[in-house]
Amino acid sequence: MDSLIRPTGPDAGIVSIYLHTHERMIENVALSSRIGYVEYRRDAQGGFTLARMKKLLGEDAAEERT
């Protein structure tokens, strides 16, 4: 069973998580900001605009906060 356990997040080399939401979903954007996501771009796509957000993990996140 141990062979099924895999590292996640920074232990697996993942340094950030990306989130895309409709810009009109202001509650989603606000919640995401409160839990550490930062908006980095808005793009028009198929008649609507996406708010693109990113959250840094591990050491990268700690460096960004300082």
What is the pLDDT, as a whole number, of residue 1?
45
- Range 24-47 average pLDDT: 94
What is the arithmetic mean of pLDDT over 27-46?
A: 94
How far is residue 44's CA from residue 46's CA, in Å, rounded to a whole number?
7
Residue (of 60, 57, 47, 53) closest to 8 by Cα position: 57
pLDDT digit string (tens) for 5-26? Answer: 665 666 677 888 999 999 999 9
Are the CB atoms for 39 and 51 separated by under 8 Å?
yes
Amino acid letter for position 39: E
Q: 23, 39 in Cβ contact below 8 A?
A: no
